[in-house]
Chain A
Amino acid sequence: MNTTALELIQGAFPEVPCETSIDSVVLTVQPSELEKILSKLKNDPTLDFGLLLDITAIDYSDYPQKTDTRFYVVYTIRNWKDNLVVQVRTPVADPEVGVPTASHLWDSANWGERETYDQYGINFQGHPDLRRILNHWQFKGHPLRKDYVIDDRQICYESDSLEKEIKARLATKRIDDSTMEDLNTEIMFLNIGPAHNATHGAIRILSALDGETIVANVNEIGYLHRGFEKTAEDRTYNQIIPLTDRLNYCSSMMNNVAFAKAVESWMGIEITERAQFMRVVLSEFYRALDHLVCLAALLVDMGGLTNYWYLYNEKEAAYDFISRLCGARLTSSFTRIGGMYRDFYEGWEVDMENHLKGIEKGVADSLGLVAKNRIVHDRTQNVCCLSPETALSYGVTGPSLRASGVPFDLRKDSPYYNYDAFDFSIPVGSNGDIYDRIMVRFEEIFQSISIVRQAMKMIPKGPVNISDNQVTLPSKDKVYNNIEGLAGHFKLIFEGVKTPVGEWYDSFEAANGELGFHFVSDGSGKPYKCKVRPPCFYTMSGFHEMVEGEMIADAIINLSSINIIGGELDR
């Protein structure tokens, strides 16, 4: 794949230096060329990079290799049909001047660039609304810059009113102050969250209503910004795994797997067959659990409380299996670089099969209430539709994108861990409405159960960790009985697993969509930079497109249907 992608990109841009990094092609361009190259990548039909995955910056001020400028901005872009990923890097000579915006090409660039501005202080010329997104508005400085001290805490005394933003959004609908003074138009502002039960976490939704219809909508996030990326720069790779649990806390294991996979793929580690199958079994089991929680909460919001018990009780039951496996209910921390924390326990197949049967029964019971329910149909069909073009432009991935009819799933399009050997299908929707998002999730639960059963039949015996003393810990027997083992253990714990110098992006199909990690390594045991590409963040950036023109009560169930998880949204 690498060579063809490289040839394609190099052919399209003969004058630009190209190289490869794992599966992606990296282009380094000057800011003056940036706009031309990005727009060619997006608009040229032979290239067709329609999905802007992520934008971030890198601060090289402490990097051992000297670079021409302190900051670089990186755009990560995907052509989902041909499974190509391109990273476009551009040097930023002066962060105050910055680089031209890409927000007119992809809508996802809007929030991506805002985050880069917030965290690194880089200006994007021509950006429509460049302000902070994760940190509060009274914050001074840019925390991901290397000279920002991690515990420099800044108190926020007052929440942002968002008045300017909602008025600007109203202006795009041709409603200004004079229309609002008109007696026949009455615009009411309604704020929901960030501490409202319907927002399922800390998200703030501000709507301008005409009656019960949403005319304009703006959102504010960042209320659960916990500094994951800054904290990760001061942890060894294995120490970051417990932090990844707390990204999407409804499916912690998938974050563990995604993180470990990203580091291993750069180091060129091929984990053991058994570990690969374990990761498949557990990922798919957690995908089913994640969807259970999402659907349970969604149906509660619609007034179907019974569904909550049917669905959530199966999740609760699964905690017995998970606790026995890894010692915790919610925060699994089960993977390690080079394999797993440990093997399954004796007799796990029986427990797993019982849980799968339980989930099937719970889902069937819930579907019995939902599938032919007139109220559910009326409230969800053709409501809050998201067209495939809009979804791709906003960087929506996962079940929400598939509900809009785009059959993009990394497990099929860029298979890892033998996913191409499993027999499963990718459910897609036809309208991109709430109904499709619900039903895609229900069907994905059945598909995941099927994958788990297939993997349980195929899983080979053998070790779960590779035997490389630079990566995995020696056995306790060696640690206690010979000096080599003891020294190896000591070094790995203190210094961490060392990764080769370089930068890379690796992605994984998590329950909510493409979960990517963008690393910069300086060769030490700690990442120089660790940026998460959270699926929720970009899905949420398109929220207003779904709800404007709909009723306020629909916005609530729409929020549940895109399954926003604060931990990965705000990191």
Chain B
Amino acid sequence: MALGLEAKLGDTVLTTQLDAVVNWGRQNSLWPMVFGTACCAIEFMSAAASHHDISRWGAEVVRFSPRQADLMLVCGTISYKQAPILKRIYEQMPEPKWVVAMGACASSGGVYDNYCTVQGIDKVIPVDVYISGCPPRPEAVLDALMKIQDQIKGESVLEDRHKDFKGILD
């Protein structure tokens, strides 16, 4: 037995919460921007190819313009030389946006504990999901995608998630 407005309008209208409906849309149409620099980008190619088929999660519309994307996949090592560019491209993406650090290098610097490698991209930009592996299997990329979708489900559209973030280049 419906109450209030729903009782009057019958099943012609569906009421829901703003967060729920917006997040439903966002989580099923993530447009990735692949920031591919190294080996992990080859594994992303596999995740996008027919065998693993990333389109099953609605994320096959790979954008190479950051301005059209809302999910940044950082696939590969980020050097100090590359870091300002990573930050610039992140800033060019419109809100809301999410970041996945794919593989050991993007997550922590990986085997490259040396003078030229940023020890994890979270020193430069905020990261939502980390994928382990060197390189991770394509299934792990898909798993990260599902984690991001889960995370989006619980978010509020009004909240600015990263306003307090401060990286080495800020």
List the interface of chain A (C-beta within 8 A of B): 134-136, 143, 148-159, 194-197, 201-202, 222-227, 230-231, 242-243, 245-246, 249-250, 293, 308-309, 312-313, 316-317, 319, 329-331, 566-567
In the complex, chain B residues whose CB is within 8 Å of the CB of A243? 111
Q: Which residues of chain B are within 8 angstroms of A227 by Cβ–Cβ distance?
A: 112, 114-117
Which A residues lie within 8 Å of B15 (CB)?
A: none
Could you give 22 example pairs across A and B, Cβ below 8 Å? A135-B81, A135-B116, A143-B115, A153-B119, A155-B83, A156-B83, A156-B84, A158-B84, A194-B82, A195-B35, A201-B38, A223-B37, A226-B105, A227-B114, A231-B112, A245-B39, A293-B42, A308-B49, A312-B49, A316-B46, A329-B135, A329-B137
Query: Contacting chain A: which of B1-9, B72-80, B154-162?
Result: B72-80
Are A226 and B51 touching (Cβ within 8 A)? no
Count, A-B residue pairs, CB within 8 A: 131
CB contacts (< 8 Å) of B84 on chain A: these are: 156-159
Q: Among A156, A201, A316, which residue has its beta carbon within 8 angstroms of that of B41? A: A201
User: B165 at the A/B interface (Cβ < 8 Å)?
Assistant: no
How long is the Cα–Cα vector from A309 to B48 in the complex, in angstroms?
Answer: 10
Contact assessment for B86 and A195 in the assembled complex, using a CB-CB cutoff below 8 Å: yes
- The contact size tier of chain B is 35 or more
- Interface majority SS on B: helix, strand, loop or mixed? loop
Task: Judge if B134 is at the interface, Cβ distance under 8 Å.
Answer: yes
A527 to B142, CA, bound (A): 40
Inter-chain contact B111/A224, CB cutoff 8 Å: no
A223 touching B81 in the complex, CB below 8 Å, given contacts A152-B115, A246-B38: yes
- In contact, A154 and B34 (Cβ under 8 angstroms): no
- Whole-angstrom distance between the alpha carbons of A27 and B46 in the complex? 48
B50 at the interface (CB under 8 A from A): yes
Q: Are A224 and B115 in contact (CB under 8 A)?
A: no
Cβ of B42 and Cβ of A249 under 8 Å apart? yes
Knowing A230-B115, A316-B51 are in contact, say whether A223-B79 is a contact too (CB < 8 A): yes
Q: Closest B residue to A152 by CB, please name it.
A: B115
- B window 27-85: CB within 8 A of A: 34-39, 41-43, 45-46, 49-51, 64, 76-77, 79-85
A329: nearest residue on chain B (CB-CB)? B137
Instruction: Check if B14 is an interface residue, CB within 8 A of chain A.
Output: no
B13 at interface, CB cutoff 8 A: no
A154 to B169, CA, bound (A): 12
A61 CB, min distance to chain B CBs, angstroms: 18
- Which residues from chain A contact B135 at a C-beta distance below 8 Å? 329-331
Q: How far is the CA of A225 from the CA of B86 in the complex (A)?
A: 15
Q: Which residue of A lies closest to B34 (CB)?
A: A197
Q: How far is the CA of A243 from the CA of B112 in the complex (A)?
A: 9
Measured CB to CB, the nearest residue on chain A to B45 is A312
A136, B169: Cα distance in complex, Å: 15
**Minimal beta-carbon separation of B22 from chain A (angstroms):** 29
What residues on B are CB-neighbors of A197 within 8 Å? 34, 36, 64
Complex contacts, B119 vs chain A, CB 8 Å: 153
Contact of B150 with A by CB under 8 A: no
Indicate if the CB atoms of A196 and B39 lie closer than 8 Å.
no
- Digitize B131-170: 1 where CB-to-A-CB distance is under 8 Å, 0 elsewhere: 0001101000000000000000000000000000000110
Q: Which residues of B contact A202 (CB under 8 A)?
A: 37-38, 82
Given contacts A157-B84, A312-B45, A316-B49, contact A225 B39 (CB under 8 A): no
CB of B89 closer than 8 Å to a CB of A = yes
9 nearest A-B residue pairs (beta carbon): A227-B114, A249-B39, A197-B64, A136-B81, A226-B112, A223-B82, A202-B37, A156-B80, A227-B116
Tell me whether B19 is interfacial, beta carbon within 8 Å.
no
| CB-based nearest B residue for A297 | B45
Q: Are A151 and B115 in contact (CB-based, < 8 A)?
A: yes
Expressed in whole angstroms, the Cα–Cα distance for A195 and B37 within the complex equals 8
Min Cβ gap A512→B in Å is: 15
Contacts of B34 in A (CB 8 A): 197
| A231 B82 Cβ-Cβ under 8 A | no
Say yes or no: is B113 at the interface (Cβ < 8 Å to chain A). Answer: yes
**A159 and B64 contact, CB distance less than 8 A:** no
> Given contacts A150-B115, A223-B81, A225-B81, could you give 9 more A-B pairs where the C-beta distance is less than 8 Å?
A134-B116, A153-B119, A156-B83, A157-B84, A159-B81, A196-B64, A201-B37, A223-B85, A224-B79
Alpha-carbon separation in the docked complex, A231 to B109 (Å):
13
The answer on a CB contact under 8 Å between A231 and B43 is no
